[in-house]
Amino acid sequence: MLSRVANSIYWMNRYLERAENYARFMDVNYNLSLEMHPGITEQWKPLVVTTGDWELYESSYGEPDKKNIIFFLGFDPNNANSVLSCINQARENARAIRPEITKEVWERVNGLYYKMKDGVEKSVWAKKDPRKFFLEVKETCQLLAGIYDTTISRTEGWHFGKLGQFIERADKTSRVLDVKYHMLLPSATAVGTPVDLVQWSSVLRSVSAYDMYRKKYGKINPQSICEFLIFDRNFPRSIMNCVEQAKESLDTISGHKNDQLNEADKHLGMLKAHLDYSDVQEVLSSGLHEYLDDIQIKLNNVSVAIFESFFSTQNILKRHTHS
């Protein structure tokens, strides 16, 4: 398939996954804020830190403020990662690959665009309770993922989409865990208190992991939560599961002609081995933050390698110029 098109499929899926994650973060965080002391705004700052855009926020708005943060993460056109920006980007990409996707997929992506437009017109961020809006965005993204899976042929393009989706998802799970863990753990005295339980539950809910975690471990426990979100092989949002699924798609795309690995194969394979040969005790004793930071860097390297191997027309021409 055209490299430009593969690139757009990859990014359309990444942006949709990001939009869904952000929409869920907002819903979960809003719920969390209801059970905190009214004066405390702090739970909104870590949310922005999770997304990696705290500096941008601070330079535009200064102090953390609920309404500003909801605007910044949901609707700010100057924040390239806001839900609005993600959905605009997803739609631009969907337009560029219109012949590759079905009418059903296009109409949903397009519908999300108009939903966001409507949200902007109605100033959702200023509403007393914006949860309904973000819940609808999240559900539309999930619906879209379902329609995508049930209407698109399992050809190369579909696998590039999956690759984008899982790399994005792994990145988001690692960031949620990283930030929340650091915010929560220092308060050793609070471990096991009701507030603490609420907070840890919200970490799980941020990545839709609460129910499946409860089923497996029963009790809320920071170490088990880390184990579940990083290493669980069966939960579809754990870093391990995302990397495994991404690898399956990449293997299908690459096809391993003559056993020659491309850069993307190498980087993703190394990341998977890295996860395969570590466990939660080791990670916690050597430093969770460092470990997750390293995972994020590795994920980024995979993404760069995918670009170099499949999307960069310059590289492709270099490899295929007839003399």
Partner 1 sequence: MDKISFEGYDTKNHFDEMFDADMKVRPHYELFRKRIEKMDWKKLNFLQHATDRAQLSLGMTFNVYSDNQGIERILHLDIIPRIISGADWDKLEKGLNQRITALNMFIADIYGEQKVLKDKIIPAELITSSACYLKECIGLKPPENVWCHITGSDMIRGDDDEFYVLEDNLRCPSGVSYMLENREILKRTFPELFERLKVRPVHNYAHYLRDMMESLTPIQRPSIAVLTPGIYNSAYFEHAYLAQQMGAELVEGRDLVVQNDFVYMITTNGLKKLDVIYRRVDDDFIDPLVFNKDSMLGTPGLFEAYRKGNIVLVNAPGTGVADDKAVYAYIPKIIKYYLGEEAILKNVKTYICDEPDQMQYVIDNIKDLVVKQTDASGGYGMLIGPKSTKEEQAEFVKKIKAKPRNYIAQPTINLSRVPTLSDDTIEGRHVDLRPYILYGKEMKIVPGALTRVALKKGSLVVNSSQGGGSKDTWVLDS
Cα separation, 130 vs 293, whole angstroms = 32
* Residue 90: closest CA among 149, 184, 143, 164: 164
Q: Tokens standing for 231?
A: 């290493």
Q: Which is nearer to partner 1, 108 or 172 (CB)?
A: 108
Check if the beta carbon of residue 217 is closer than 8 Å to that of residue 224: yes
Nearest to 166 by CA among 7, 9, 14: 14
Look at the block and give the residue holding tokens 């219109």. Answer: 98
- Cα 223 from chain centre: 22
Nearer to partner 1, 74 or 157 (CB): 157
15 makes contact with partner 1 (CB under 8 A):
no
Provide the residue count of the chain: 323
Q: Which CB sits closer to partner 1, 54 or 307?
A: 307
CA max distance for the chain:
71
Distance CA 127, CA 119 (A): 10
Please identify, using beta-carbon distances, which residue of 114 and 193 lies nearer to partner 1.
114
Q: Does 96 bind partner 1 (CB under 8 A)?
A: yes
Binds partner 1 (CB under 8 A): choice among 41, 110, 142, 252: 110
Least Å distance, CB 273 to partner 1, is 25
Q: How far is the CB of 106 from partner 1 (least distance, A)?
A: 7
Contact 210, 267 (CB under 8 A): no
Work out which of 35, 107, 139, 279 binds partner 1, going by CB under 8 A: 107
The one among 78, 189, 285, 321 contacting partner 1 by CB under 8 A: 321
Stretch that binds partner 1, among 232-240, 274-282, 291-299, 307-315 (CB under 8 A): 307-315
Taking the complex as a whole, the smallest distance from the CB of residue 261 to partner 1 amounts, in Å, to: 16
137/19 Cα distance (integer angstroms): 8
Residues 208, 281: Cα–Cα separation, whole Å: 24
Q: Which of residues 153-182 bind partner 1 (CB under 8 A)?
A: 156, 160
Q: How far is the CB of 99 from partner 1 (least distance, A)?
A: 4
Contacting positions for partner 1 (CB under 8 A): 1-4, 6, 88, 92, 95-96, 98-99, 103, 106-107, 110-111, 114, 156, 160, 253, 310-311, 313, 316-317, 319-322
